[in-house]
Amino acid sequence: MAELKGIVAAILTPFDERDNVDLDYMKRHLRFVEAGGAQGFVPSGSNGEAASMRLEERKRIIELCGANKGSMFMVAGTGSTSLSETLELSRCAESAGADAIMVLPPFFFTYAPVKGIIDYYRRVFDAVSLPIFLYNIPQCTGIRISEEIIHGLREYPHLVGVKDSSGQIDSVLNYIENFPGLKIFVGNDHQVLSVLEAGGEGHITGMPNAFPELTTELYKAFVAGEDASEQQARLSKARDIIAGFPEFAVNKYVLSLRGFPLRYCRLPLLDMTDEEKTRFVGLMKENGLWSL
């Protein structure tokens, strides 16, 4: 089994002028991310606009990515409000050659009892034998992956970890402290070095889509036992700049400057305006973060 650690790219989904998924672009983009030094990638996740896609689109993406992993490991995003869709996507990921899946809790039903969330997850664990990561992103799902939920699933040996994108450093550190047998990944770009130093396994982020160097250089320095604070500062500065723009659109625009066709976001997300493009490039250059 692939070693699930390091920098993991949360892969974008490129939509063309007719709002169709550009599968050829995705294959080429995987090679770009791989060449940038990422150890793994997540298709059909938050950065992939999965919540805006049809079930068949997500399955096709998972299948394509499974056939084009290269040297990277694949953690497929399979979570959905619909349990039946989550099960179908999870089985698809298993047959497509995924190394693991990442499952967020069923969003929208924020008032669901904890037992209902646990039972939902238990159905997924019973359906596939792949390693499974729980995905904590309560600002989007309305449901926190609590200690009670994790304890309710500890009987399953293929519960391997948690990705925390809450933005709360205490949340990530609590997972590391209280569940030493699990692999804990952080989603927040500001917290990478702190989480690695505390014993976390790595970073799952959208940054490697267009700027793989900013994340992989930090990880390389850390693994080599070097002081990675400068790399963390650069990554944090880039995150601060990107926060002022539509993030997914930024990645797609920057990739168009790095030789890819310009691709688009799916509504309700918006693409960058010409003014935003000019201002973004200027800020990145002013801060020494532009490597093109």
User: Other CB atoms closer than 10 Å to residue 268's CB: what's the count?
Assistant: 6
Tokens of 79: 């979570």
Per the residue annotation, which of 25, 120, 121, 135 is the catalytic one?
135
- Residue 1, SS3 per DSSP: coil
Q: Is 285 a catalytic residue?
A: no
**Distance separating alpha carbons of residues 35 and 174, to the nearest angstrom:** 33
Q: Estimate to the nearest angstrom the gap between the alpha carbon of 3 and the chain centroid.
A: 17
**Distance separating alpha carbons of residues 162 and 145, to the nearest angstrom:** 9
- CA-closest candidate to residue 105, choices 134, 75, 62: 134
How many Cα atoms sit within 13 Å of 100 on the Cβ side? 27
Which residues, at least 6 apart from 65, have a Cβ–Cβ distance to it below 8 Å? 11, 26, 30, 41, 43, 74, 76, 96
Per the residue annotation, which of 163, 237, 252, 277 is the catalytic one?
163
DSSP string, 63-130: HHHHTT-TTSEEEEE---SSHHHHHHHHHHHHHHT-SEEEE----S-TT--HHHHHHHHHHHHHH--S
Q: Is 252 a catalytic residue?
A: no
Q: Identify the DSSP state of 254.
A: H
164 has which bridge partners? 136, 186
Which residues have a catalytic role annotated? 135, 163
